[in-house]
Structure 1
């Protein structure tokens, strides 16, 4: 919680103090006096502060009735929070839907840890109070819908819903509570599977028709997306709200459901960026689902992201997740895999490791190398230090609310963040891998193989931003061997660096646990601003490559997907490896061709894939005349957003990328 939120809390409780931060990833209430936290002249445990905050917020939330569903999230209060306490988590909403507060209360009352027991019982009490507030608000209206909803509150707190309508309402109720308590980037998980039994029972018993179900789910999606501005973190649209579709069940059988198709249809029709979709695919994913997924992608919303689940699950099991759990793989917010309802994994808690910077540094040092291999060895030593510098131990805040709904927490009598959750494998991210591969290939070719330049020339090019070195700049930009190419040398060097990265990270821990690493980072613009020109042809401060994507018009989508399928990730290199590509809008008329390309790519072994559908002319015009394009959506990193909401640097980067890819 940041200073604004803290000030707001002080006003509510009539106290004052200052925020104590041990490091940027932790927040606590109160002033520090003689080594103790003091608030209102009283020493408080931060877990108790959390419960106190929960009580205050829940009592202040405005309840809006007269709507299809009640969503107890007060966006004005939410906006007062500068920073989340715990973020990028996927709750097991099946567990949430089946939860019974009386059953939870009975289990908690048996706990021997008095402090833990008291806190969790208070959390239950506050949930009940809020549900009663909602019920009272609904009682003031005699509308038909309000009468129906009033019957849901607070009954729905004490057991499994009896209909799809009730399930959607219960899911929204708890989702709003999580958000309101600073828990940002909350994934919604496998809703097509979770909600299917309610849908099928209602259809079978004649309670609803398919069209009525579609209308209800459509409204549910719109409710989730209505507070996008308040829920967003770095940029408008960056909410982390994803709905996971498809994939296998606990027995390893593919479980496309009627709702898998329905969600894809609804999102293709709505054409909104938030929430987003992620589709788990395998060899048994039906052509119907593939076709609907591609149709959705071709609307230009950037959804769904494609996860090649069998490859991902196998890597997760090899890393350290139980094979009995990996069937329920989800993501933390964008693409980083975790186990739904069991993982406290924070997959972006560190600054990104910048792969290109160590290469610049050794060239700028002026050291000479007799051959490329000796330079590569020196680079790896410097790169290892860069990787080691970003992984740290982190002191996280608590979550007594999440503790109710995650495996083992109550039995262990431990908070979700303090050993209660089964997994806490945090993740690092590497940015600029494509730039680094291209720079190394250029050095090898033009300095060592063809001897057209010396390392001293490369040093001067970096220092001068290629001024006076235009011939070298032209050569490195137009060289034939590039990241994304299926050329043997390119693939070998890329796999060499991936393997090395995994080996270095395997020796590191965060909070005593192994660390994951991935090659897709949201920081491809922000982390590049202070990095000098690099020998891939990138100029001083220009953005790095986006995730796993080529930097040349000579590589088309088919080749980059084939290249990606040839990459060999270490068992710890699983923290997101997304092929990111911009395809021209002409593919809208060739959806079957695109379906074949994507399906074959997954069969061949890519990890993950996201696509933008756009053209340069539209983006240029949208930047010049934003009023003409209020609904233009683009994929930014692990989320989509309205083009008009993006900073100028991101608009410019998308325009540059669209120009490059249009030539493919």
Structure 2
């Protein structure tokens, strides 16, 4: 039985189907609401009811031109492969909706969010999780169910947890049978021989996989995809990480090739189809971001053996062939990976696919090991969403709260006008009494640490609410440790349980501190009060001074010894004080530097800053220099990382690289050099945005001619024409500035 991927027909069929979403499941939800009104059970029992209702009452959809099955019609939005908080439509979020909104959380965050000090939409992370698809792949839900059934429980909570996990496994098995029955029904009227072949394959497979362990390459792909999609549909949360595909799929591929069950061409067709499923589902527009779906390749196995094989090449071939914004390709790379691998990755970058993230194994494995995790587990890290790392046996909570560092610094300079302190009865260390920069800097670090600790105390309470409003027994069932501990995933059932606050604007923060250091304390050009006067006036009437601050003082990223020394200290101190705080799941906070597009969201209420930046202008992204810094090319950007220990950031620190080059004239060797330099200089994560500035301008003027032009906005990728005019203009300006 063979498969040839028909991209055009698959996309056409997907568009026709998903354009009808969300499906009406109001009658099922009405029954659940009536039952809940009568019984008032725990959220754990609500999830059990949800699984049972989905398995018994929801229809399934099989696409004629896709050999994979996973679409359960639960009332989800079309754009629902990302996070689900606030709760989105669909039965998966039914339990969450009955407990939302959480007034305690909304009341706390409101004053900070309104003034753009924080971007905090979620109490905890509802987007970047990884269900252990390998466990399902090797065991199957039937064996997992048997393990759960043997659990000895002693309390009501444990009994409810056990019963809910059993219901989750039963739902997965039942839905498999439903897909088999639906394929058999479709066969009664199907006349296309190639489609019939795939329907027969689905009919004969769906009753076995993922109920039983996968045995073939096709079954393995199906099991991994089905498990991830089922969690997304049934848990009311986002499972961004699709899996470490080349590592887990290669043994199945190799065995099928040796036993002549598959050809390399058919395997490539299966991979091609898999890589386009989320793209076909998602509908981009200016009000949406990305799907969060991410596939991981490269890296190593538990013993440290390098992963690079024929499946790696097939996945790269798919990204070479198709211009897609989803899934994102998370490429794990190290100094030990072969040149052939790096060259192929460099080609994907050169082609401007712009859904590519590079993750440096030499840094990230060490970062997680320093955080107290076993080295064998650290080697198995994955990433999803933007670039959020997560170990395969870890429940992470990342990218749910972003702290605006430049505005926090302004709040220290103007504590009365920007009073973020009295609400929490925080005692701020006064920066205006400092006799030298060392004292000033110590006060800044103390105040930042105090504010982060305050946030962690509040989020300790908010994370505890997670298990009360949306426990995830299906997700828990995929984690062996949850069964062994008899503890649900949101309560600490995973082996590792991490949390991260994302710090944004570090480049602007460093430049502002350096401006104060030079002009106030070293050169005595201004008093601190005079500098504050200029900032408060947004430099109106002080343009010459602003130009001096902007253009005469060295900036982070420009390879200046004084700035580099300060940057190293700032990175270290921020990592130190955003790490180590406990969370309620038995884990700790880990340092993270990333942006998504909140660096843009928070600009409106961010005052002018000491580096000469005007109020309302964008602040820096990830680990990057300020948005207005000049003379920052790829070489200087890579070099700026050399003095910084990025292994202090297990939550990763992202470098965003704009490459305004012609994709036809630029040598792929340039991108190979950048990859090698990034690894050599100790970067953590790297996002490419390779754009032809002339093509961007033409695309804005004639969008219909450039529908496949994908750009990297920040943490996510999207078709250029789907973005708002403001974001389009920003990306064009980036290209012009870096050109």
Q: TM-score, structure 1 length as denominator?
A: 0.90
> Structure 1 9/161 Cα, relative in aligned 2: closer, same or farther at 3 Å?
same
1:401 shift after superposition = 0.7
| 1:515 maps onto 2:589 in alignment | yes
- 2:76 maps to 78
Task: Using the TM superposition, give the Cα deviation of residue 75 of structure 1 relative to its aligned residue in structure 2, in angstroms.
Answer: 7.0
Matching residue within 401, 421, 425 for 2:474: 401
1:128 has 2:173 as partner? yes
Choose the corresponding residue for 2:705, options 625, 628, 640.
628
Mapping of residues 145-544 of structure 1, within 5 Å: 145-181=198-234, 182-229=236-283, 236-340=288-392, 342-349=393-400, 351-364=401-414, 367=432, 369-391=434-456, 392-393=459-460, 394=463, 395-396=465-466, 397-506=470-579, 508-511=581-584, 512-522=586-596, 523-544=598-619
For 1:220, what is the secondary structure of its paired residue? helix
Indicate whether 1:642 and 2:681 are aligned.
Answer: no
Residue equivalent to 1:25:
none
Query: 1:621: how far off?
Result: 3.4
Q: Which moved more, 1:356-365 or 1:309-318?
A: 356-365
- Does the alignment pair 1:577 with 2:622? no
Which of the pair has the greater relative contact order for Cα pairs under 8 Å at 6+ separation? 2
CA shift at 1:365, angstroms?
5.1
Distance in 2 of aligned mates of 1:235 and 1:424: 32
Provide the C-alpha distance between the structure 2 equivalents of 1:16 and 1:168, rounded to a whole number of angstroms: 34
- 1:506/1:192 CA distance change after superposition, 3 Å: closer
Deviations 1:330-355 (A, max 9, x none): 12422222211x11111123x21221
CA shift for structure 1 position 314? 1.2
Q: CA deviation at 1:510?
A: 2.1
Relative to structure 1, is the Cα distance of residues 289 and 75 closer, same or farther in structure 2, using a 3 angstrom cutoff?
A: farther
> What is the aligned-residue RMSD (CA, Å)?
2.6
- Cα pair 2:60 2:182 within 8 Å, conserved: no
Aligned equivalents of 1:486 and 1:262: distance in 2? 39
1:393-418 deviation per Cα after TM superposition (whole angstroms, max 9, x unaligned): 11223111111211311222221222
Counterparts of 1:473 and 1:185 in 2: how far apart (Å)? 46
Matched, 1:558 2:635: yes
* Distance change >3 Å, CA 616–CA 370, structure 1 → 2: farther
The answer to whether the 8 Å contact 1:502/1:570 transfers is no
Q: Which moved more, 1:383-392 or 1:592-601?
A: 383-392
- Match of 2:641, SS? helix
CA gap of 1:75–1:630, structure 2 versus 1, over 3 A, is farther
Q: Are 2:661 and 2:693, in contact at CA under 8 Å, matched by a contact in 1?
A: no
Distance between the aligned counterparts of 2:518 and 2:42, measured in 1?
61
Residue in 2 that maps onto 1:20:
none
1:15 Cα deviation from its structure 2 partner: 5.2
Q: Which residue of 1 aligns with 2:731?
A: 654
What's the counterpart of residue 12 of structure 1? 28
Distance 1:454 1:75, change over 3 A: farther
Q: Tell me how far apart the structure 1 counterparts of residues 32 and 174 of structure 2 sit (CA, whole Å).
A: 27
User: What SS does the aligned partner of 1:345 have?
Assistant: strand
For residues 300-336 of structure 1, what are the alpha-carbon distances to aligned partners after superposition, in whole Å with 9 as ceiling and x for unaligned? Answer: 1224311111221112111121223111011242222
Aligned residues of 1:280 and 1:307 also touching (Cα < 8 A): yes
Which residue in the other structure is 2:67 paired with? 69
| 1:68-127, Cα deviation, whole Å (9 max, x unpaired) | 224332577211865377431123322221232332222122112233332222222212
Cα distance in 2 between the residues matched to 1:145 and 1:507: 51
For the 8 Å contact 2:250–2:310, the answer to whether it is kept is yes
- Runs of 5+ consecutive residues of structure 1 not aligned to the other structure: 18-29, 31-37
The one of 39, 46, 53 equivalent to 2:50 is 53
Give secondary structure in 1 for the equivalent of 2:295. strand
Of 313-322 and 84-93, the range deviating more from structure 2 = 84-93
1:493 Cα shift?
0.8
C-alpha separation in 2, matches of 1:474 and 1:76: 57
Mean Cα displacement is larger for which, 573-582 or 57-66? 57-66
Superposed displacement of residue 65, structure 1: 4.1
Query: Distance between the aligned counterparts of 2:358 and 2:494, measured in 1?
Result: 27
The whole-number CA distance in structure 2 between the counterparts of 1:136 and 1:621 is 50
Q: Can you give the 5+ residue segments of structure 2 that lack an aligned partner in the other structure?
A: 1-20, 88-92, 97-125, 154-158, 188-195, 417-431
Deviation at 1:296, TM superposition (A): 0.5
Give the structure-2-normalised TM-score.
Answer: 0.81
* Aligned equivalent of 1:21: none
Contact 1:358/1:379 (<8 A) preserved: no
CA distance in structure 2 between the partners assigned to 1:67 and 1:627 by the alignment? 27
Q: Deviations over 1:380-403 (max 9, x none)?
A: 233223322432211223111111
